[in-house]
C-alpha cells in the first residue's frame, strides 16, 4: 500500500448565514484532512455545522471563507471537476418518490453522460451489491426507510466517485437497518471509496468511522481515531445521578476529597468524574457520599465513550442535546 494522501482538505473553512444581528456563524475556521480510503466521521449535535460543511465540500453551497480541496481540485475554482469525482447523499435523499428505484438509478447515471448501456450494467451491479433488486421496480414512495437509504447510496455512487459524502446516513433507521447500512458503508470503504459521513449518533461514529472530528457550534473540538479520543479521558467514567434535593456543588465538593477522582463536572442532575480502576474505587465513592449525607439516585461505572470526550470539551453531554428537525438544508 502506498502512503495515504488527503482526498479532502480544508484550510480555515468558514460559513456564516445572514448579516448584522441576525448573522449565524455556522462553520468556523475548519481545518481537516481526510485520507484516501478511510471512513471519516463528523460527529456533533444538531446545528453543529455538519451539513453546512458537507454542502460546501460538495459544491452545493458557496464557500464563505478559507479554502477546500476535494479529490485533487479546489472547490471554489473547479467546482465541476469536483462534482465529477464526488457523490453526495443528502439527509433527505434525492430520489423521485413517484418513480421506481430502477428509473431513479438509470436517470442519475445518465446525468453523468455515460451511455445507457453502461449505466444499465452499472445499475445492475449496484442493485446486487446494495441488495435492492427485490423492490427496484416499485415506486420509491412505497419504500421503507432502510430501502430508500440503500437506493440513495446507489444513486450517490453510480458514477464511481472517489469520495462519497453521506449526511446522516442512518438517521431514522431502526437498529437492524442501521447495522445493515454500516456494513454497506464498510464495503464501500473496502472497495476503495473514501467516505465522509456525518452523524449525531455516538455509537455510529465509534463503530463505523476510522477517524472522527467532533463538532460543536461550528468548530472542531477534538479529532482522532475513536480509541485515541477515548484514550484521552484517562480511566473509567463514573456517573452519579443525584436527587433533585441534593446540591450539585456540595456533591462535587465531597467528591473532590477523593484523590483518585479527576475531571469532576456537573451536567444537570448528573455528576461525571473519572478514575483508573473505577469499579475498585466505587465503594469508597458511595461511602464518602453517604457520610456527607448526599442523596443519590444512581451511580454507574463504564468504559469511557465518545460522549465522555464530548463532555470533556464542551461541558455538556451529546446524548442529552435535543435533536430537532433539520432546518435550512
Ligand atoms: N440556509 C441557512 N440559513 C440560515 N442559517 C442556516 C442555514 N443553514 C444552516 N443554518 C444554520 O447554521 C447552523 C449549522 O447548521 P447545519 O450545518 O445544518 O448543522 P448540522 O448539520 O450539524 O445539524 C445552524 O445554526 C443552522 O440553523
Ligand atoms: Mg445536518
When pLDDT is averaged across residues 308-321 and rounded to a whole number, the result is: 84
Residue of the CA atom closest to atom 2 of ligand 1? 328
Residue of the CA atom closest to atom 26 of ligand 1? 47
Residue of the CA atom closest to atom 1 of ligand 1? 328
Cell numbers of 183, please?
Answer: 456494513
Quote the pLDDT of residue 164: 98
Q: How confident is the model at residue 324 (pLDDT cuts 50, 70, 90)?
A: very low
Q: How confident is the model at residue 75 (pLDDT cuts 50, 70, 90)?
A: very high
When pLDDT is averaged across residues 271-284 and rounded to a whole number, the result is: 92
Q: Are 267 and 315 in contact (CB under 8 A)?
A: yes
**In the predicted model, what is the mean pLDDT of the chain?**
92
When pLDDT is averaged across residues 310-322 and rounded to a whole number, the result is: 80
Quote the pLDDT of residue 329: 37
* CA angle 137–141–145, rounded 5-degree value: 100
Quote the pLDDT of residue 248: 84
CA 169 to chain centre: 9
pTM higher than 0.85 for the full model?
yes
Q: Tens of pLDDT along 88-147?
A: 999 988 899 999 999 999 999 999 888 999 999 999 999 999 999 999 999 999 999 999
Q: With pLDDT > 70 as the criterion, what percentage of the chain qualifies? A: 96
Residue 92 CB partners (closer than 8 Å, separation 6+): none
Q: Which atom of ligand 1 is closest in space to residue 46's alpha carbon?
A: 23
**Which of 17, 42, 88 has the most ligand 1 atoms within 8 A of CB, as the residue to mutate?**
17
Query: Among the CATH numbers 1.10.1280.10, 3.30.70.100, 1.10.10.10, 3.40.50.300, which is that of 234-314?
Result: 3.30.70.100
Distance 195 CA to ligand 1 centre (A): 22
Evaluate the CA torsion angle 60, 69, 2, 220 in order and state its sign.
Answer: negative
Distance 51 CA to ligand 1 centre (A): 7
- Position with higher pLDDT, 174 vs 326: 174
Residue of the CA atom closest to atom 14 of ligand 1? 49
Residue of the CA atom closest to atom 13 of ligand 1? 26
Q: Tens of pLDDT along 19-59?
A: 999 999 999 999 999 999 999 999 999 999 999 999 999 99
- Residue 278 scores a pLDDT above 60: yes
Residue of the CA atom closest to atom 24 of ligand 1? 47
DSSP string, 31-63: EEEEETT-EEEEE--TTSSHHHHHHHHTTSS--
Residue of the CA atom closest to atom 11 of ligand 1? 26
Quote the pLDDT of residue 4: 61
**Which of 45, 88, 167, 329 has the most ligand 1 atoms within 8 A of CB, as the residue to mutate?**
329
Distance 54 CA to ligand 2 centre (A): 9
Every domain of the chain and the residues it spans: 6-230, 234-314
* Ligand 1 pocket, Cβ-based, cut-off 6 angstroms: 17-18, 24, 26, 44, 46-52, 327-329
Quote the pLDDT of residue 321: 59
When pLDDT is averaged across residues 300-311 and rounded to a whole number, the result is: 93
- In this structure, which ligand is nearest to the CA of 318? 1
210 vs 294: CA distance, rounded Å? 42
Name the most confidently modeled range: 3-17, 73-87, 301-315. 73-87
Does domain 6-230 match CATH 3.30.70.920? no
Strand 236-242 and strand 270-275: the pairing is: antiparallel
- Count the neighbouring beta carbons within 10 Å of the beta carbon of residue 6: 15
CA count, 13 A, side-chain hemisphere, 124: 6
Cell numbers of 146, please?
Answer: 432502510
265 vs 249: CA distance, rounded Å? 10
- Residue 247 scores a pLDDT above 70: yes
Distance 220 CA to ligand 2 centre (A): 15
Distance 67 CA to ligand 2 centre (A): 21
- Position with higher pLDDT, 237 vs 246: 237
- In this structure, which ligand is nearest to the CA of 44? 1
Q: How many Å is the Cα radius of gyration of the chain?
A: 23
By CB atoms closer than 10 A (0-12, 13-18, 19+), residue 220 is: buried
Amino acid at each position: 500500500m502506498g502512503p495515504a494522501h488527503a482526498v479532502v482538505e480544508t484550510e480555515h473553512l468558514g460559513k456564516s448565514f445572514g448579516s448584522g444581528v441576525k448573522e449565524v456563524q455556522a462553520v468556523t475556521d475548519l481545518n481537516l484532512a481526510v485520507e484516501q480510503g478511510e471512513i471519516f466521521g463528523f460527529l456533533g449535535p444538531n446545528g453543529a455545522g455538519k451539513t453546512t460543511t458537507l454542502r460546501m465540500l460538495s459544491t452545493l453551497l458557496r464557500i464563505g471563507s478559507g479554502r477546500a480541496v476535494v479529490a485533487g481540485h479546489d472547490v471554489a475554482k473547479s467546482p465541476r471537476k469536483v462534482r465529477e469525482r464526488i457523490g453526495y447523499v443528502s439527509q433527505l435523499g434525492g430520489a423521485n418518490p413517484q418513480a421506481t428505484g430502477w428509473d431513479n438509478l438509470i436517470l442519475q447515471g445518465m446525468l453523468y453522460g455515460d451511455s445507457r448501456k453502461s449505466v444499465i450494467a452499472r445499475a445492475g451491479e449496484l442493485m446486487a451489491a446494495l441488495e435492492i433488486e427485490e423492490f427496484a421496480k416499485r415506486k420509491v414512495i412505497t419504500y421503507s426507510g432502510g430501502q430508500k437509504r440503500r437506493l440513495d447510496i446507489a444513486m450517490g455512487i453510480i458514477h464511481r466517485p472517489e469520495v462519497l459524502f453521506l449526511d446522516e446516513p442512518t438517521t431514522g433507521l431502526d437498529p437492524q437497518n442501521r447495522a445493515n447500512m454500516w456494513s454497506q458503508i464498510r464495503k464501500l470503504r473496502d472497495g476503495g471509496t473514501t467516505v465522509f459521513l456525518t452523524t449525531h449518533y455516538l455509537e455510529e461514529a465509534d463503530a463505523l468511522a476510522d477517524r472522527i472530528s467532533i463538532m460543536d457550534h461550528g468548530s472542531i473540538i477534538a479529532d482522532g481515531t475513536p480509541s485515541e479520543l477515548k484514550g484521552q479521558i484517562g480511566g473509567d467514567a463514573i456517573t452519579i445521578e443525584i436527587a433533585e434535593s441534593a446540591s450539585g456543588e456540595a456533591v462535587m465538593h465531597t467528591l473532590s476529597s477523593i484523590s483518585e477522582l479527576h475531571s469532576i463536572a456537573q451536567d444537570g442532575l448528573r455528576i461525571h468524574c473519572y478514575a483508573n480502576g473505577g469499579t475498585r474505587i466505587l465503594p469508597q465513592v458511595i461511602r464518602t457520599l453517604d457520610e456527607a449525607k448526599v442523596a443519590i439516585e444512581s451511580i454507574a461505572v463504564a468504559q469511557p465513550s465518545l460522549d465522555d470526550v464530548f463532555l470533556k470539551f464542551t461541558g455538556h453531554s451529546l446524548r442529552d442535546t435535543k435533536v430537532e428537525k433539520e432546518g435550512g438544508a
